Amino acid sequence: MICWRCREKVEGPLCVSCGALQPPPAAPDHFDVLGLDRAWSVERQEIDAAWRARSRLVHPDRFAAKSAVERRMSLQWTAAINSARRALRDPVRRGWYLATGRDRPADEPGGSLDPDFLEQIFELQLEAQGDPQGVAAQASAMRDAVMGELDARLQAWEQGDRTAPPTGVTELLDRMKYLDNLAQPGA
Amino acid sequence: MAYSDKLIDHYENPQNVGSMDKAAPDVGTGLVGAPACGDVMKLQLKINDDGIIEDAKFKTFGCGSAIASSSLVTTMVKGQSIEAAEQIKNSDIAAELALPPVKIHCSVLAEDAIKAAIADYRKKRAQQG
């Protein structure tokens, strides 16, 4: 990219030549926005650290006395890094983003889930009315098993060239919330 | 955010909670779920030979809006023909309960449950020949 102010080549949010804030990408990739490699195995602390580093560069306080253009870009950058942090911090959200290239809306209606699994969840919910702790322990073990499988598949994907999105993971991700609800009743 | 009286009423006094024999030839069962929130909804319809829904029962594990949506649906479909029940849209449910935008997906789940229950009933009928 070319700096909009001094016409030098730029990478990242700020121009190294003139210090001008650059516009955030039009269709931002959450990993790009934070300056991270596209990966599954990334610690929460790494994401937080990347977010903090970017936040220091693009924070609106730094641009309060600058031009209207830069003030607006600073707000756009801040929104973009905040969304990126939210989408990548949680492993389930991160897996979803890697697999689909988008954030999952909180109100997304039903998917096509294995009917036997749904039946099992329903039965566990019924059982939980009498024995919440027993069911919570069972659901927690099931959740760990799904997470283990998810982790194995995404690590295998990570070993490749990472150009194509990982496959076969959305169905596993779809199971997580049902199991979370059972594993942490009232949470 | 204020919920409508109707929604609160269906949540606090849900209608037609329960279950029917899943194996009965005149009972259609719809089990649907929303992976984003983890809600599960089971709707069962008892349908007579004239294709009229004689009874409806539901059991929902989820938020208040999901419970109210499924409760409302049982009251809407009772006494209706299958064809009329199939015409019920999630927007009808959402409007009736004045669901806030973030809860519209609960009404989608309820519409899916009706369709799934009817499909299950039809499949049973077809298998009986």
What are the residue boundaries of the structural domains of chain A, listed by start?
A: 30-89, 115-183
Write out chain A residues lying below 8 Å of B61, CB-based: 122, 125, 181
Write out chain B residues lying below 8 Å of A124, CB-based: none
Pick B114 or A103 by higher pLDDT. Answer: B114
Q: What is the dihedral of CA A37, A43, A46, A48, to 10 degrees?
A: 120
**Per-residue pLDDT tens for A15-50?**
989 989 999 888 889 999 999 999 999 999 999 999
Write out chain A residues lying below 8 Å of B107, CB-based: none
The answer to pTM > 0.90 is no
Does B40 sit within 8 Å of A106, measured CB to CB? Answer: no
Closest to B40 in 3D by CA, of B60, B20, B57: B60
What's B51's DSSP letter? S
Confidence of residue A77 (pLDDT cuts 50, 70, 90): very high
**Per-residue pLDDT tens for A174-183?**
999 999 999 9
Which ipTM did the prediction report? 0.90
| CB nearest B31 (choices: A108, A122, A126) | A122
What dotted CATH number matches A30-89?
1.10.287.110
Q: Where are the alpha helices (DSSP H) in chain A?
A: 30-34, 44-58, 68-89, 91-100, 115-128, 132-159, 170-183
Q: What is the pLDDT of residue A110?
A: 58
Asked if the C-beta of B72 comes within 8 angstroms of chain A's C-beta atoms, the answer is no
Picking from B19, B39, B40 by the largest number of A CB atoms within 10 A of its own CB, the best residue to mutate is B40
Picking from B59, B105, B107 by the largest number of A CB atoms within 10 A of its own CB, the best residue to mutate is B105
H helices, E strands: number in chain B: 5, 3
Question: CB contacts < 8 Å between A and B, how many?
Answer: 62
Q: What is the pLDDT of residue A75?
A: 96
Q: What is the pLDDT of residue B102?
A: 87
Q: What is the dihedral of CA A112, A115, A120, A124, to 10 degrees?
A: 60
**Per-residue pLDDT tens for B34-54?**
888 899 999 999 999 999 999
Does A178 sit within 8 Å of B109, measured CB to CB? Answer: no
